[in-house]
Structures are given as structure tokens and as C-alpha cells.
Amino acid sequence: MKLFKTLSALSTGLMLSLTPSLAHADLKIFATVPEWGALAETLGGDKVKVYTATTGMQDPHRIQARPSLIAKARSANLLIATGGGLEIGWLPTVQREANNAGIMPNQPGFIEVSRYVQMLDIPAVVDRTMGDVHAEGNPHIQTDPRNLLPIAKAISARMQQLDPENATYYHTQLSQFNQSWQANLQRWQKQAAPIRGVKVWYQHDGYPYMNAWLGLNQVGVLEPHPGVEPSSRQLADILQRQQSVQGRMVIAPAYLNDAPAKWLSEKAGIPVVVLPFTVGGNEQAKTLAALYDDTMQRLLVALK
Amino acid sequence: MSCLSPRAAIGALCLFPAIFSTPLHAQEAPDVQTQLTQIQASLQQMRTDYDQRIATLEAQVSQLKKENTQLASQARKPVATLAQAPSEGPRGSIETYPPLPGSKPAATDSAPAKTLSKAQQRVAKVESLEDKITAVAPPPAAAAPTPFPNLGGNDRTIDLGAELFLDAKYSSQSQNPENPYAGVLPNGAEGVPRGFSIGETELVFKGAVDNLFRGEARFVLEQEGNSTSIKTEELFAETLGLPGGTKVKAGKYWSSVGYLNDKHPHEWDFVDLPLVYKQVFGGQLNETGAQLSWIAPTDNMLFKFGGEIAQGSNGYGESFNSNYNQNKPRLGTLYAKTGGDIGDSHSWQGGLSWVRSTTGSGASANQATYTLSNTNDVNFTGGNTTWIADFVYRWAPFGNPTSQNLKIQGEMFWNKQSGSMTSNYNCAETEGQCLQGSNFAQNQQGFYTQGIYQFIPKWRAGYRYDRVFNGTNSFGLPAEALAGSQIQSGWDPYRNTIMMDWANSEYSLIRLQLARDNAFGPGIYNNAIYLQYIMSLGAHGSHKY
């Protein structure tokens, strides 16, 4: 058929003209969120080329499956996602539209890192009246730096599997990361002593892992349901509760409009702490270690 | 974490120096050795730490358990004495029952109750301590991977995602939407009926078939007069594992040409389609056939190319002669899409598409029929070609569309039909096709452009302007044959539409739309108001750009 001929001629021509650009490639990594992008860069060094689909100022729940994401996913060798439902609103479309067999679920080129840590806040029952609740548990696992150890190991294993020529290199990088991270963890552990047991309010229920890490005492959440802004009446109720629970600060992630947190801060006379939430969430949090350093500093400053 | 899984640590770290003992790697060996010793040391330390903590907690647990058993036995004593009192009869088996109300040793009643509650507290304490012990344990290794890709639902064993979209409307219009549009050929898509009606209620099943294929089926419940009918909207399988950025899809599906063409009604920004879609495709181009698509391995910008072959019908829409039960597919499309980002806040996509279908000729010709009036038809043999240019631009501050975002889109269509015609116009009833000619030619164009702005969370407002151009036509018919028919030369209807919608969540939306058009003919204005809701149940949707 004429149409067939035109079609195949067209596509063959285009493939031939573009194939050479494939040859020089390093391991191309597509990370959905900045923390895994930064981790992949640490673990892969100069053997990988990392693309991060979102910035620290974006809500990873709500991303549009933009053409650029599909173009990046098309050539990616490894797709690193948080999983646990975090990217469910856009990642399946990107995977399906990208025509890349290697990054489909259950392929070596696709890793959901939340499978490698203990998930918290797994609801016994979940339905839509509860808002954006994830059946798999709370997906914001990066707020506890201890989670990065098993995740780094899992990501490095995939790198070694996909790029066996550089396996030794990846392994060395992993060992170095583990060493430095253990040192970081010990340092933070010491720094965190004054924070332990401090009562805090959260604007978004995104920090159960940080609570577990720092021993913060979560007294409540401003959002009535995850992802739903509180009304003025709900905020008034929270101010009422603050009288008795006496939270010491109110914490908001950088990507959200922190107006509700500011309101409570003013009325209750407690500081509002805007945490970076991920790498690139603010000026200071430029690297993984800086993310937790900055988080720690902001909490300590608020306590003074 | 290597300390927590000794297998990996020992396996990898120990084996490497052993295997690579060549001079080349000799330098690395001491490094690895020191690391190994360090890791082993910290492993040992952690082990001791854990052992100590677990030992302490276990000691506490056993201590509390002991106390608890003592307390529990104390608590049971009065019951036991109660049971002993009536030494004969069936009451002997009462032992485990709580004290009966009004039973003799009333004085002792309150004391054991207290100890009981104290005992319960102790039990709770023991249990919480036991919880602590499990919490101390290291996180489990990777969960077992699911056997098949999961693209549809949450059920990880069957992978069949189901979605149900509910769509209902109220509309008030100054013209009867069942009347045919003027200046628009063909005219396949129905308007929204007046009053209350249900729109397209869509039931979707989708999921991975196995590691190589994915399937999707969409059934639509549509109101037709006072009854409803079920239609198959889409039913296709597509590949998941083809190399080189290619994909094949086959079945019945919405063609990927244009921008709005493959968007389902629940994804539309307005209640209805632009006029030009009704004009050229009689709705949306939905065909039974096969599609091949390919994405170029570029770095930042998307370049996607595709083509489709479908059974087809010349007038595209369902109201025309279909090519059913014919060996030769008669519709083909080609499309190219490109797009990218400009900074974090802006993204865009543009496309160019081509659609061609023919009626064939000779014995296997499959004529398309257009209605002139109640009794007169014009039959067309020839080809039908459409070009579409589409463009979408989106803005979201820092790429975060949650609170504010803007979407501007537009599409332009060029449609050309040329061939020969026959008609029963002015024939005596028995004579059939008395008018024949070889000069059927029609050139129509149309476009729409729209902008949707989300100004605060949940609230969006939008405006659309659309227009179709009847163009230059020659049908081989005298002018009076066309009077009052759809094919009135020189009539280019337009429409202005505004809408506002409120989405409580990703799953619900309520929309108000006002429109004014003159699509029914010169000077005949249709003022319309629509109120619509769209609700979605089931698997979490993942939307296209």
C-alpha cells in the first residue's frame, strides 16, 4: 500500500538520521524528584547523566505529563521514582507515552524506591472522602535521611545491573556515600538532641518520617485532608486546640503556599518554619547533605 | 546499609580484591580492605548495640509479663471463690465467668475490678513495649516485585483498573440543537439536548495484558431520546516492549491527529466540541485500524511521528457509508508532534496532521452520501483530505500548577473533498440518479482558539472563539438545490463561548458555560447556557498533556 511505503520510508529515514546520537550515551537516568536525582548523581558520578523531572518548588503530586518529560523518558535507561502513589497522576502516562520498553514497571530500568524502606502511615481503610490519602502509606520518605541508605544500595544495584562495565565504580561510589552518610547521620543525631519531643504543627501531613527520625511530637495538621487547604473556621478550631496542646512551631513545606501556617504563627505567637522538603527547596538546600543540615538549622533556630 | 545486609557487604567487598588481584587493581585493594575493616567494625558495634537494647527490652517485657500474670491471677481469685461456694450442681462450671450481679461477696467486687483494670494497663504496656521491639528491627528488604506491569489499577494481582465517569447536564438553548447546522458539511455530531440530560457516561477497563501488551476498553452509555444506548468508544491493545521508541496500537481508538481529537469528553475544557470538529470529523475521528508511532531519541524536545491505517469511511463520521466488510482500508493518517519547555514555568506542544480517505472507484466504490433536503441526496465518489495544525501552550508558576495555571490552545483545519457526484435532485421518483457530474469540489476551513485560566485553587475560567468557513464549493448542482440545505455556500458561522468551573478534587468538577453562535443560519442566533458535572470513580487517572 502506498501509505505504508510512505510511512516506513519516512520513519526509516528519520531513524537513520538520528541513530548516531544514541551511541555515545552514558547511563541516562530520569529521576522524578530532586532527592533521587541528587542521590543518583552521587552514586553514578561521571558515568551517569541525570535528569530530574521536578524542581524543589513543585508539588510532586501534580505535574503535567509535558512533552519534554516524554522526550527524556524515551531515552532513559533508568527511571527512579518514589512510588507509593506519589507520581500516580502523571508518571503512568509518561511511561506509556514514551515508547521505552526498558522503563516499564518490573523492568530493571524502573525502580520505585519506596519499596526499599519501611512505609509509615499505611491506612487500614482508604477511600476518596479522605482526600489524597495513599493506600501504600505516606510517600514522603525523603524526610528521614536514614532511608537514603537502603535506597542508595538499591539504586546502585540497578546501576551495576544496567551498566556492568562500570560496576566496580558504582560500588566504590556507594561505599563512599555510605561512609559519609553514616558520619552525617551521627552528626545530625547529636544536633537533634534539643528537638526531641518538641510539639509541632504541620501544614501538610508530609513528615511522619522526619518525626520518626528526630522524635518530633506532631500535635496536628492544618490541612483537613491531604492536599486540601484549611478553611478559616478549621483554622480557628486549630487555634483553639493550640491553647491546650501548646505546639512550639508550625512547619510548612516550601512548595506549598504557607498562608495557613503564617496565620497560625501570628495568632498563636509561635514561629513558622518553612522547610525545603527536597533538594533545591530553598537557596541553602543545594545538595543532599545540605538539605538535612538546613532542615536541622531551621528547626533549631525556631526553638530558640 | 551494607552493615544490615552482610551478604552484600561480604559478597561484594570481599570478592573484589580477591578476584582483581592483578597489579592494575593492586592500588585499590588496601582502600577496599580498610573500608571492609571499618564496615565490619561498625557492623559489630551495631550488632552489640542492638543486642543490648533488645536484651533490655526483653527483660522489661518478661518482668512485666510476670507481674501481669500475678495481677491477673489475683483478679480471678474472687471469681474462683464464687464458683467454689455452690459446690454441687451445674454451677460448678462457672469458673471463668465474671462475678454475677447480686452475688454474695459484694464487698470484694470493687477491689478486683480495680486490679483488673490495673492488670489491663500492664498488658497494654507490655504490648507497647513489644511494638517497640519490632520497631527497632531493621526495615524489611525489598518487597517482592509484582509479576506484571501495573498501569491501570491498584489490584496488584489482576491489574485491571476500572474507571467510571459520570456526566450530566442541564441546558437551555434558544434554538433546537437537533436542527442541522448551516454551512457545515458534514454535520455528524449531535448538540447537547435542551433540559436535563445525561452526557457520555464512560466505563473504562484498562491494564497490562502481560509483559508485552496493554489493553484498554471504553464503553459509553449515551442518551438517545428517552432511552440510553451502549457504544464501544475505544477497544484496543498496544505494545509495551517494542524497541527503538516504537509502539503499535490496534483496534478501535481515537486517532492521534490534532490535539483535541484523542481527548475524552471528561477531559474537555468546555461542554462541547469546537464547531470545526463537527464540521470536518462529525465529532472526533474515531476509527478501527492500526497505528504505528515513533519517538525520536532527542534530548530535550519531543519529536513524535505516527501514522494510522483504518477501515474508514469517506465522510469520516459515523453518519456516512462505512467501509465495513471490505478488504481494503480506505483511511490513512500521518502526524508529527513536537514540544518542549521554556524555563520551569512554560511548556508547549505543536503538531501537524494529515488525514486522507477515499471512496474508491468502480465496482467497489463506497459512496458518501450527503442530505440536501428530506428527499434529495447527493452521492460523492472521490477523496477527502484534511490538514490540521495544532498548538498548545501552558504556563504554571515554577511548574507548579496547583494554585494557578494557564492553558492556551488552538487548532486550524483545512479540508478538501474532490471527485464526482450523482444526485436524485429534480428526478422523477422512479428514475434514480438523474444528475451526474465530475465536478464535486469542496474546500472548507475552520479553527478555534481558547484560553483557560485557573486563577485560584479549584476555580478556572475560560473563553473560546471558533469559526468555520464554508469556502469555495462546486457540487454540480444548481443553486436552488442547495437553498436551505447544509451546503449553503458563503455561510461562515462563528461562536463565542465562556465557561467557569470548580473542581473540588481531581475527581469532581462542576461547570457553567454560556455560548452564542449563529451556526443554524444567517441571523439565527442560538443563546445557550449549560450546567454540567463530571465525576470520576475508580482508579486514579493519569492525564495526557
Condensed to tens digits (0 to 9), the pLDDT of residues B250-286 reads 999 999 999 999 999 999 999 999 999 988 888 889 8
Q: Are B334 and A85 in contact (CB < 8 Å)?
A: no
Torsion of CA A224, A230, A236, A241, to 10 degrees: 30
Q: What percentage of chain A carries pLDDT values higher than 90?
A: 68
Q: What is the pLDDT of residue B133?
A: 36
Spacing of C-alpha B43 from chain mean position? 48
Alpha-carbon distance A213 to nearest alpha carbon in chain B (angstroms): 12
Alpha-carbon distance A169 to nearest alpha carbon in chain B (angstroms): 11
**How does residue B381 score in pLDDT terms, banded at 50, 70 and 90?**
confident
Angle at B412 between CA B194 and CA B380, to 5 degrees: 75
Count, residues in chain A:
304
Check the CA dihedral B475-B481-B487-B490 and report its sign: positive
Q: What is the pLDDT of residue B453?
A: 97
User: What's the Cα-to-Cα distance from A113 to each of A110, A147, B429, B453, rounded to whole Å?
Assistant: 10, 10, 75, 36
CB-nearest partner of A11 from B39, B243, B294: B294
Q: What is the pLDDT of residue B430?
A: 60
In this model, does residue B17 exceed pLDDT 50?
no
Q: What is the pLDDT of residue A206?
A: 87
Check the CA dihedral A57-A61-A66-A72 and report its sign: positive
Q: Over range B205-223, report the average pLDDT.
A: 89
**How does residue A292 score in pLDDT terms, banded at 50, 70 and 90?**
very high
Q: What is the pLDDT of residue B5?
A: 47
Q: Is residue B465 classed as helix, strand or coil in its secondary structure? A: strand
| More confident: A178 or A137 | A178
| More confident: A134 or B238 | B238
Q: Are B542 and A104 in contact (CB < 8 Å)?
A: no
Cβ atoms of B259 and B337 closer than 8 Å: no
Q: Are A3 and B147 in contact (CB < 8 Å)?
A: no
| More confident: B472 or A276 | A276
CB-nearest partner of A65 from B4, B292, B545: B545
Buried b / exposed e along B239-264 (16+ C-beta atoms within 10 A)? bbbbeebbbebbbbbbbbbbbbbbbb
In this model, does residue B145 exceed pLDDT 70?
no
Q: Over range B223-240, report the average pLDDT.
A: 90
Residue type, position A89, single letter = G
In this model, does residue B338 exceed pLDDT 90?
yes
Nearest chain B residue to A133 by CA distance is B540
Angle at B428 between CA B427 and CA B431, to 5 degrees: 80
Q: What is the pLDDT of residue A60?
A: 83
Query: What's the ipTM?
Result: 0.83
* Tens of pLDDT, residues B342-368: 999 999 999 999 999 888 776 667 777
Residues of B in contact with A255 (CB under 8 A): 400
Distance CA B434, CA A82 (A): 70
Q: What percentage of chain B carries pLDDT values higher than 90?
A: 35
Q: Are B2 and A104 in contact (CB < 8 Å)?
A: no
What rounded mean pLDDT belongs to chain B? 76
Nearest chain A residue to B403 by CA distance is A257
Q: Are B16 and A171 in contact (CB < 8 Å)?
A: yes
Residue type, position B439, single letter = N
What rounded mean pLDDT belongs to chain A? 88
In this model, does residue A50 exceed pLDDT 90?
yes
Long-range contacts formed by A292-296: CB under 8 A, 24+ apart? A292/A145, A292/A184, A292/A188, A293/A188, A295/A143, A295/A210, A296/A188, A296/A191, A296/A192, A296/A195
In this model, does residue B522 exceed pLDDT 60?
yes
Among A192-206, A265-279, B12-26, B530-544, name the one with the lowest average pLDDT.
B12-26
Residues of B in contact with A75 (CB under 8 A): 297-299
In this model, does residue B94 exceed pLDDT 50?
no
Q: What is the pLDDT of residue B111?
A: 40
Q: What is the pLDDT of residue B21?
A: 38
Among A79-83, B161-165, B443-447, B530-534, name the one with the lowest average pLDDT.
B161-165
In this model, does residue A231 exceed pLDDT 70?
yes
Q: Are A93 and B302 in contact (CB < 8 Å)?
A: no
In this model, does residue B371 exceed pLDDT 60?
yes
Cβ atoms of A105 and A87 closer than 8 Å: no
Residues of B in contact with A141 (CB under 8 A): none
Alpha-carbon distance B429 to nearest alpha carbon in chain A (angstroms): 41
**How does residue B124 score in pLDDT terms, banded at 50, 70 and 90?**
low
Q: Are B399 and A57 in contact (CB < 8 Å)?
A: yes
**How does residue B188 score in pLDDT terms, banded at 50, 70 and 90?**
low
In this model, does residue B24 exceed pLDDT 70?
no
In this model, does residue A48 exceed pLDDT 60?
yes
* Tens of pLDDT, residues A90-116: 999 999 999 999 999 889 999 999 999
**How does residue B184 score in pLDDT terms, banded at 50, 70 and 90?**
low
Q: Are A72 and B242 in contact (CB < 8 Å)?
A: no
In this model, does residue B46 exceed pLDDT 90?
no
Q: What is the pLDDT of residue B122?
A: 56
Q: Are B12 and A171 in contact (CB < 8 Å)?
A: yes
Of B177, B283, B9, which is closest to residue B520 (Cα–Cα)?
B177
Q: What is the pLDDT of residue B112?
A: 41
Q: Are B400 and A59 in contact (CB < 8 Å)?
A: yes
Distance CA A219, CA A199 (A): 6
Highest mean pLDDT among B39-48, B191-200, B238-247: B238-247
Grid cell listed for A304: 530558640
Alpha-carbon distance A304 to nearest alpha carbon in chain B (angstroms): 31
Buried b / exposed e along B133-171 (16+ C-beta atoms within 10 A)? eeeeeeeeebeeeeebbbbbbeeeeebebebebbbebeb
**How does residue A5 score in pLDDT terms, banded at 50, 70 and 90?**
low
In this model, does residue A290 exceed pLDDT 80?
yes
Q: Is residue A52 classed as helix, strand or coil in its secondary structure? A: strand
Q: What is the pLDDT of residue B349?
A: 97
Alpha-carbon distance B190 to nearest alpha carbon in chain A (angstroms): 30
| More confident: B143 or B311 | B311
* Tens of pLDDT, residues A146-182: 999 999 999 999 999 999 999 999 999 999 999 999 9
